[in-house]
Amino acid sequence: MKKEIRIKGLRKRWLINSLGPIVMVALLCIAVFSVSIANYYYTGMRTGLESKAKEAANAFNTYSMNSYNEYIQMARSYTESFQDKDYLELQFIDSNGRIEVSTYGVTAGLMPSTPDITAALTEGEIEPYMGEDPATGQTIMSVSAPLEFDGRVVGAMRYVTAMDLANRQILISILIAVLVGVAALTMVYFSNLVLITNVVEPVAEVTATAKRISGGSYGIQVENKYRDEIGELIDSINDMSTKIGQSEKVKSEFISSVSHELRTPLTAINGWGETLLAGDSSPEELRKGIGIILKESRRLTSMVEELLDFSRMEDGRFTLHVEQADVQAEFEDTIYTYRALLRQDGIELRYDDGGQIIEPIAGDSERLKQVFCNVLDNAAKHGGAGKRIDAAIRQENDTIVLTVRDYGPGIPEEELPYVKQKFYKGSSKARGSGIGLAVCDEIIHLHNGEFDINNAVGGGTIVTIVLPMAQ
């Protein structure tokens, strides 16, 4: 139910935000059109009436009249021959504002008293009027032109037309504009509705999948049927789900592996501790037991250090103690230390310094030695089957290049991109927490260097460390 409400809310916001401005613009356009069309009709009618009244009054004033009766007679004659009586009313107004003669006889004798009559009789000007006819109550437009006799205004010629037809035409035009606007808004509404539906449905599906992922269903996928931004979102969700699933799997494997790695030395320490505590061991057994306890204790210490380093990496507390570091000396110390240990396991460790003396650089000696130890330890654990490890150091231009190569089975090609990731152990069954290489990569990265692991030509694995001379 919550999902449906949210989807409806999204659809409502979408339609309001997209249709709202369009509706406002449409209403504004209709209003402007209505005012314009009304102004067009009214201006045209007013201009036509003014022109007609002015021409007719000028023509009427050109006749020579000797008496008022002659004026009345001419007015009647003019109205009888008026050709536009079907849509215009022609009136002759006397000096008192009374209708003397009209093409519509029923209005004779009335006094309209509209502003156009007053302007014509008192000011001698032509002034249009639009409004309600005081006599009939009908909406009209009228224009009055002054009539002169002996240089003075004796009356007015008035044209009157009803506004019903014009208003009807204006109303029809406005209705057409409204219908066109409604049709356009309807098309926009349905097109937006289709668009938002095409957006809401995949968003709802992605939301449901995201909830399932947050609920623990890692690795599930959403079918992607889109090739637009929605498709990119679905691809991102699917990629996130896959990576979370992989991360959870790796984390579970890591916890299991670390638990096993901790249990093994602890079991050995406990067992030999109980044996020694019994007090019936020979000096040889005592020496052997103490050696095993020390060895397993070092293993535990090394694992704890790795876990602490990893914790510092995760929260940003992993830093270097920078000083002048003799990389060559640290590397050679590590070589000599491991050479004796590896010889016991039948592994030959060869070292090549290239006959060069490399100057110290700014760096953390302890961290760099940690990297060297980890790399040699991995070479022995994973590539010791080849019974040989080659280590070399050389200066190339402004960099120090260190390589450690074993002659073991190598790393499966599909696992190479992940070997430096935290917790990753791949198909290897060797002991370890799976974070040693991740820590090494971070240490070299903090030295602005490069840490690469690849399969060597001819078999085995080669680790290449590149450190810049200028830090």
- What is this structure's pTM? 0.46
Domains and CATH numbers, the chain: 2-168 (3.30.450.20), 229-315 (1.10.287.130), 323-468 (3.30.565.10)
User: Which residues, including other chains, have CB under 8 Å from residue 413's CB and lie 6 or more apart?
Assistant: 455
Of 224, 76, 57, 231, nearest in space to 153 by CA: 57
Q: Which 8-state DSSP code applies to residue 237?
A: H
Are residues 157 and 147 in contact, defined by beta-carbon separation less than 8 angstroms?
A: yes
- pLDDT tier for residue 149 given thresholds of 50, 70 and 90: confident
Question: Whole-angstrom Cα distance, residue 449 to residue 466?
Answer: 5
Question: Whole-angstrom Cα distance, residue 292 to residue 290?
Answer: 5
Four-CA torsion 177, 178, 179, 184, nearest 10 degrees: 90
Burial (CB < 10 A; 0-12, 13-18, 19+), residue 404, is buried
Question: Whole-angstrom Cα distance, residue 145 to residue 162?
Answer: 18
User: Which residues, including other chains, have CB under 8 Å from residue 87's CB and lie 6 or more apart?
Assistant: 161, 165
Question: Whole-angstrom Cα distance, residue 160 to residue 74?
Answer: 20
Structural tokens at position 103: 């093409």
Question: Whole-angstrom Cα distance, residue 375 to residue 359?
Answer: 22
Share above pLDDT 90 across residues of the chain, in percent, rounded to a whole number: 17
The 10s digit of each residue's pLDDT in 219-256 is: 778 777 777 777 787 788 888 888 887 777 767 766 77
pLDDT of residue 5: 41
Instruction: Estimate the share of the chain in helix, then strand, then coil, as percent rounded to the nearest 5.
Output: 60, 15, 25
Is residue 26 helix, strand or coil? helix
Query: Looking at 86-90, 191-195, 398-402, 450-454, which range is the least confident one?
Result: 191-195
Largest CA distance in the chain: 165
